Homo-oligomer: A and B are copies of this chain.
Amino acid sequence: MALISPSRRLRRTPFSEGVEAAGVSAYTVYNHMLLPTVFASVEEDYRHLKSAVQVWDVACERQVEVRGPDAGKLVQMLTPRDLRGMLPGQCYYVPMVDETGGMLNDPVAVKLAEDRWWISIADSDLLFWVKGIAHGYRLDVLIDEPDVSPLAVQGPKSDELMARVFGDGVRDLRFFRFGFFDFQGRSMVVARSGYSKQGGFEIYVEGADIGMPLWTALMEAGRDLDVRAGCPNGIERVEGGLLSYGNDMTRDNTPHEAGLGRFCNTATAIGCIGRDALLRVAKEGPVKQVRAIEIGSTALPRCDRPWRLLAGVKQVGQVTSAAQSPDFGCGVGIGMVRMTHWDAGTELIVETQDGAFPARVRETFWI
């Protein structure tokens, strides 16, 4: 394993001090920012996430803020999801596509007001696309990356910890809804959301100065809950079928290939730039699609490159994320499989850098 070379370009976050004090052992880079990936070990972090509560530095989920009279119109141009019924206070998972229907990002759109949105992005400079479109269409909007850094609280004891810091009101938040809650006199957007299947919240921390005070308050309030610094877990997120832009889908894929057809209202998302390109695939369906792939392994190498999925000698897909699951006693994977071989139960072979393993297409993810 190689080291990561620090530089200003790999931006630190308002929580980096806390992450370092907690003994982070590995990072990835996400939106030009450090994202912790391991503290104790991937397996120990995984056990702890499933049983207690963790505080995650996900400041790298940067915001594209869109403000102004044309804000709603612009956001609708970016996605095939129909946003007409969306109310302030709601978060929507919105695939974003270019004029060919290729995915540019899969962010969460946070509607703060009719004329003010945060697009909470996955790992690509979506800001550049949004600015280019707004400029080209001469829209009346301001677009910027504000000083907003999400901090996630994830795990079965999240409600208890959050209630201690923000008050019992947070318990009433519904999934993918947000409210404004006070911390040390500052109003913060708190949403019930997050990149795990263990439940929890994301706090949109506005102003880097309040980052460490909030981090410390959460750590102190949760001492008896065994709260720890954590991060998106490479095993748990595959078990839960949480896709990762850049890993499981890229600009080469349509939302339908990524299994996100249910977030595409291609018929009614009037104004979406990629709509024409997606109409046919929306009607006929894609010829390859994301699937859960069970791997007959007892240990797996790091999935640092696409692994070919074979039926005999013929490639019929690829695995793009995978890990050995302690809870399910097998390798768990996310793959893209051609329609000829995507039915649940289909037996395939997956080729890794450390050799081949039997693989099977599953109906659903594990959790």
Contacts and interface: CB of A to CB of B under 8 A. Distances in A.
Interface in A1-56: 1-10, 12, 24-29, 32, 37-38
Contacts of A24: 2
A245 B27 CA distance: 21
A308 to B, nearest CB: 13
B132 A136 contact: yes
B32 A5 contact: no
A9 B132 contact: no
Interface string A264-301: 00000000010000000000000000000000000000
A287 B6 CA distance: 29
Contacts of A209: none
A3 B6 contact: no
Interface string A298-325: 0000111110000000000000110000
Contact of A29 (B1, B10, B125): B10
B8 A303 contact: yes
Given A124-B128, A128-B104, A136-B135, A27 B8 contact: no
Contacts of A123: 9, 32
A133 interface: yes
Contacts of A136: 132-133, 135-137
A122 to B, nearest CB: 10
A13 B301 CA distance: 18
Contacts of A98: 131, 135
A253 B165 CA distance: 39
Interface in A111-139: 123-126, 128-133, 135-137
Nearest to A20: B2
A90 interface: no
Contact of A2 (B3, B124, B130, B305): B3
A159 to B, nearest CB: 29
A247 interface: yes
24 contacts: A1-B3, A2-B24, A4-B29, A5-B26, A5-B37, A7-B321, A8-B246, A8-B247, A8-B305, A8-B320, A9-B244, A9-B245, A9-B247, A10-B29, A10-B304, A12-B305, A32-B123, A32-B124, A32-B246, A99-B131, A124-B128, A125-B128, A132-B136, A135-B273
Interface of A: 1-10, 12, 24-29, 32, 37-38, 98-99, 104, 123-126, 128-133, 135-137, 234, 244-247, 273, 302-306, 320-321
